[in-house]
A = this chain, B = another copy of it.
């Protein structure tokens, strides 16, 4: 039962595009973002791509009175880029760095160097325990030939596992961030169907923002138009998701996005649009019934996990092939290394200087080391992909058991949380 005058929670999310010396007008934009946050006084602001700690510290100082509680999540070489600014006390924080996140040699993409992750801050909001997640998934550089799809699916899986296993004691759950996935992309469906998280855009009472909730739009000063093809109008890849609990029902009353330009300013806050959600919290003694209306059927969960598992399997085959190539490089360079060795010891070697032999040797050793490093890299990727596949199979089997149980008992839906299986009474042994 909802109370008549609900408590409100205002949540903000923005990918700040904060790559120092690369992102345009970074300093000025952080100044604008700081002003916006200070003016709007959200309950919680979730930022992504705050790659420089100095920029975080600038915002922290500027917002010390409006957002006295902050956490900057540190991981990877550059950082996770994730930051949380809160009006409410942060009791605890936890970070899970994704196991797969591109390749270190893909310097022009660079995702690997940012330790992409999901961060959790636990807040005390009006006496309620709020689990607030912020995340940023691997970018999609080509929709037609997305070589990172298995990585993003593994990240989606790790994200949903992290959320569903760490949100158990929460009164309310909010997730904000740049998922780098369109609304109906596999990873997005996987996340929503297995956590019960609901998309504020599709749930909101009122919406004020870009068409179809787009957060990457052509009408943004910083957007490269060719990146949007074939979605000229824009795409929606930034989200605020939410979920209540047995104690609290949640409803998104309004959602807004920035619209590519800022009044009285010559450029926007970022190359992404910002999201602001106003969430209403209703006290409820039995919200399960209410929440379950929005959660997918077990059969849908089964379908989506099967689809995801197929992508992981394909990623596994590709990575095994890459590991094999790395092994060929290792053996090839070892064979090649025989050449300088032979030159050094054969009688005819007099015609080759020590330095020639040395140079050839150095080249072979460099090739060998490169091959060995790549072999190690792909081997760890294979381990991660296999672990993900195994976990997906376990979930699939568990869903199958639930489905069989549901069919036997005549019911056909579940909210997907792992504790919903009917419990037999505590049996005793002799």
Query: In the assembly, what is the distance between CA of A101 and CA of B386, in Å?
Result: 21
Question: Which residues from B are CB-within-8-Å of A390?
Answer: 71-72, 74, 93
The smallest C-beta distance from A260 to any residue of chain B, in angstroms, reads 31
User: Is the Cβ of A383 less than 8 Å from the Cβ of B74?
Assistant: yes
Question: Which residues from B are CB-within-8-Å of A71?
Answer: 390, 394
A427 sits at the interface (CB 8 A): yes
Query: In the assembly, what is the distance between CA of A267 and CA of B359, in Å?
Result: 52
Question: Which residues from B are CB-within-8-Å of A89?
Answer: 401
Contact string, A335-365, partner B, CB cutoff 8 A, digits 1/0?
Answer: 0000000000000000001011011001101
A359-B362, A426-B283, A429-B8 are contacts. A391–B94 as well, Cβ < 8 Å? yes
Question: Which residues from B are CB-within-8-Å of A429?
Answer: 5, 7-8
A398 sits at the interface (CB 8 A): yes
A7-B426, A73-B387 are contacts. A91–B398 as well, Cβ < 8 Å? yes
Query: In the assembly, what is the distance between CA of A165 and CA of B94, in Å?
Result: 9
User: Is the Cβ of A77 less than 8 Å from the Cβ of B394?
Assistant: no
Closest Cβ neighbor of A356 among chain B residues: B355
Query: In the assembly, what is the distance between CA of A335 and CA of B99, in Å?
Result: 36
The smallest C-beta distance from A57 to any residue of chain B, in angstroms, reads 13
Query: In the assembly, what is the distance between CA of A281 and CA of B390, in Å?
Result: 30
Query: In the assembly, what is the distance between CA of A104 and CA of B151, in Å?
Result: 24
Query: In the assembly, what is the distance between CA of A387 and CA of B115, in Å?
Result: 12
The smallest C-beta distance from A196 to any residue of chain B, in angstroms, reads 14
Interface size in chain A (residues, C-beta < 8 A): 72
Q: Main SS of the interface on chain A? A: mixed
Query: In the assembly, what is the distance between CA of A16 and CA of B39, in Å?
Result: 60
Question: Which residues from B are CB-within-8-Å of A362?
Answer: 358-359, 362-363, 366
Question: Which residues from B are CB-within-8-Å of A359?
Answer: 355, 358-359, 362
> In the complex, which of the residues B72, B77, B122 contacts A379, with contact meaning CB atoms closer than 8 Å?
B77
The smallest C-beta distance from A49 to any residue of chain B, in angstroms, reads 16
User: Is the Cβ of A423 less than 8 Å from the Cβ of B128?
Assistant: yes
Question: Which residues from B are CB-within-8-Å of A386?
Answer: 74
The smallest C-beta distance from A373 to any residue of chain B, in angstroms, reads 8
User: Is the Cβ of B419 less than 8 Å from the Cβ of A129?
Assistant: yes
The smallest C-beta distance from A227 to any residue of chain B, in angstroms, reads 28
Question: Which residues from B are CB-within-8-Å of A6?
Answer: 428
User: Is the Cβ of B92 less than 8 Å from the Cβ of A394?
Assistant: yes
Q: Which 10 pairs of residues, A with B, have the shortest CB-CB distance?
A: A362-B362, A355-B355, A127-B424, A168-B169, A168-B168, A355-B356, A358-B359, A74-B387, A74-B383, A127-B423
Supply 10 further A-B pairs (C-beta < 8 A) apart from A75-B99, A362-B366: A94-B391, A124-B421, A126-B426, A127-B425, A128-B423, A166-B166, A169-B169, A283-B426, A355-B358, A366-B366
